[in-house]
Structure 1
Amino acid sequence: MDTGLSRRGLFGAGAAAAAILVGAGPAAASPGTSRMTLRWWGNNGWEVRVEDKTILIDPWLTRFKTGTYTPAGADPQTPLSVNRELIDGYLDRGELRADHILVTHGHYDHLSDVPYLAKRTGATVFGTETHLSLMAALGAPEDQLAVASGGEDLTFDGYSIRIFRSLHSATGPRARVPFPGSRPLSRRDRPRVIEDLVEGGTLAYQVTGGGASVLNFGGSNYIESELAGVRPDVVCLPVGGAKVTQYVPRLLRTLGNPRYVAATHWDDFDLPLGQAHDPNGGLDTLREAVTAASPASEFVVLDHLGTFVP
C-alpha cells in the first residue's frame, strides 16, 4: 500500500512538503509557493483553499460499505446514509468549511453527503440538472443550487471556477457507465439506495486562485477537445481508464504536462476515512503511466486529510 505519509505526519511542521511523494524519483518534491492549499478527503473528495476561501469537490466523508471491491461488486440496493455526527465534528471544529461545492457527477460516492454539507455551510453548489434534482430531493436548500452544463467560466472573490463538459469512467467488457441515467429538476422523489443516484452527466472543474490552478476529473475519462489550451499547475487524475484510448499520455499531452499529477479516486471507499488503502494496484499502474508519459511531472500521493501547496 502506498498512502504517502502517515496522517499524523501531515499535521506537523512542514506538512505541505512532506505530504508529496514523487513517482519519478526518490526525493520528496519541493513545495510550491502559491497561496493555494489542496487537501484530500478520500475518494475524489478535495478541498481547495485560497487564503480565506474554500472550495470542496465531491466531498464524501460518510463512506458506507457497498461491496464495491468484492468480486460481486457494489450492491445496488445498499441504502443511502449520511454520517451527520462525523461531518458535524469536522465542521464544528473548524476543520471543514465551504464557499462552493462542486459536484462532478451524481453517483453516491460523489454526491450523497453534499446536501447536508450545503445546508450546514451555506455553500453554493454547482452540478448538472440531474445532480441538482437529486440533491434537492435529498434536502439541499434549493436557493443554493446552481445548474452547470460545462463551458462556464466564473469569477468570485479571490478565485475563479471554470467548468468543462466531461465523461464518466467506462468500465467492464462493454465499457458501460455504472448507474446511468438522468432526471429533470422538477422531479422530487427521494433517492433511497445507491442505484437511485444516477450519473446524470459528468463535469470537470478547474479552480484558479492564489497563484495556482487545479483541474479535477471525477471519473477516468474526459473530452479532449474541451481541454484545448488548458494549462493547470495540478491535475487530479483518477486511477483506471483502461477502456479509454491512451488515457494518461493523451490527457497529459493535451494539458501541456502539468507540474503536478495528484492521484485521486484510488482508495477503497468501503473503508472509513483515515484508512487509505489501494485495493487493486491502481495507484502503481497510474504512477507508471504518468512517469512514462510525462517524466517531468511530479506524482503526488496524499494520505487522507493530507495537504500540499502547489
Structure 2
Amino acid sequence: MKISFHGHSVILVEANGTRILFDPFINGNPATDLKVEEVKADVIIVTHGHNDHLGDTVELAKKNNALVIGTAELADYLGAKGINTHGLHIGGGYNFEFGRVKLTQAFHGSGYVNEKNEIVYLGMPAGVLLTINGKTIYHAGDTGLFSDMKLIGDRNQIDVAFLPIGDNFTMGPDDAAYAAELLQAKKVVPIHYDTFPLLKQNPQAFVSMLPTGMGVVLKVGQSIEL
C-alpha cells in the first residue's frame, strides 16, 4: 500500500488497484503538486465541507466517476449535484469492496461557500479511519485536541496518523504532539501547515516532540509504504 502527501490535507492511498483521495483541495492550493485534469481517483473521502477540504471534489468525482464518502449531510449535498455518494456519520462505519471506512468525531466546523457567496451548512466535521489489508490509517481532518483520541487509539491499532499542526484553525504542534501520545499510532505525519502564512509551522520541530521513529515529515509528493 502506497500513501502519498500532496500538500495541505490532501492524501492519496493506493491499494489493491484502488486510488483513494482525501480532501482534494487542488485548485487554489499553493502547496500541492497535483493538477485536477491529471488526477485519477476511484474513491474520494471528504472530512468536512470547508472550501480547503471539499475543494475540487465535484469536478474530480464527475471526471473519474468516483464514489464520494462523507457525512450524511455532505453526501446529500453532493448527491443532489449528481455525484455518486455514500453517507456515514460519527461512529458509523461501512465495509466497502476496497476496505472499511469509519468516521470519528472532530472538533471544528463544516460549511461551503457557494458561487453566490452563501455559506451552505454541510453537517459535522469528521476524522476518518480507513482500514485496508489489515492496516489502519487515521486522517484526523481539521480538529482541535480532544481526550477521546485516547479511545480512538485504544480501540484501533493505527499504523499511520495524519494530524494537523497548523494552529489558528486546528491543533498546533504542542497539542498535536499530545494527540499523537493519546493515539499511539506507529507513525505520525503532520498535515495542514504552511499552505498559507497563518499556518506557518516547522514540521521537523513537531517531529522532534514525538518518540524516536514515530514522526515522519513528508514533502509534497513524497510517499510511505505500508
Place the TM-score, normalised by the shorter chain, in its bin: 0.7 to 0.9
The TM-score with structure 2 as length reference comes to 0.80
Looking at structure 2, the residues matched to 222 and 239 of structure 1 have their Cα atoms a distance apart, in angstroms, of: 11
Q: Cα–Cα, structure 1 residues 48 and 244, in superposed 2: closer, same or farther, change >3 Å?
A: closer
Which of residues 253, 264, 269 in structure 1 aligns to 2:191? Answer: 264
Where does structure 1 differ by over 4 angstroms across 4 or more consecutive aligned residues? Answer: 241-246
Q: Greater RCO between the two (CA within 8 Å, min separation 6)?
A: 1
When Rg is computed on C-alpha atoms for both structures, the one with the higher figure is 1
Opposite residue 148 of structure 1, the aligned amino acid is L
CA deviation profile, 1:228-282 (whole Å, cap 9, x unmatched): 4222010001114578697235422332x22211111113259xxxxxxx96224
Q: Which residue of 2 aligns with 1:298?
A: 214
3-state SS of 2:90 partner? coil
Q: Which residue of 2 aligns with 1:283?
A: 203
Contact 1:221–1:244 (CA<8 Å) still a contact in 2?
yes
Gapped runs of 5+ residues in structure 1? 1-35, 66-84, 169-176, 183-189, 271-277
Gapped runs of 5+ residues in structure 2? none
Q: Does 1:253 align with 2:197?
A: no
Q: Does 1:123 align with 2:123?
A: no
What number of residue pairs does the alignment pair up?
Answer: 218
Q: Does 1:87 align with 2:10?
A: no
The TM-score with structure 1 as length reference comes to 0.61
More strand by share: 2
Opposite residue 105 of structure 2, the aligned amino acid is R
Q: Which residue of 1 aligns with 2:51?
A: 108
Opposite residue 121 of structure 1, the aligned amino acid is N
Looking at structure 2, the residues matched to 113 and 59 of structure 1 have their Cα atoms a distance apart, in angstroms, of: 6
Which of residues 97, 101, 106 in structure 2 aligns to 1:166? Answer: 106
Opposite residue 162 of structure 2, the aligned amino acid is C
3-state SS of 1:299 partner? coil
Looking at structure 2, the residues matched to 195 and 300 of structure 1 have their Cα atoms a distance apart, in angstroms, of: 38
3-state SS of 1:300 partner? coil
Q: Cα–Cα, structure 1 residues 224 and 241, in superposed 2: closer, same or farther, change >3 Å?
A: farther
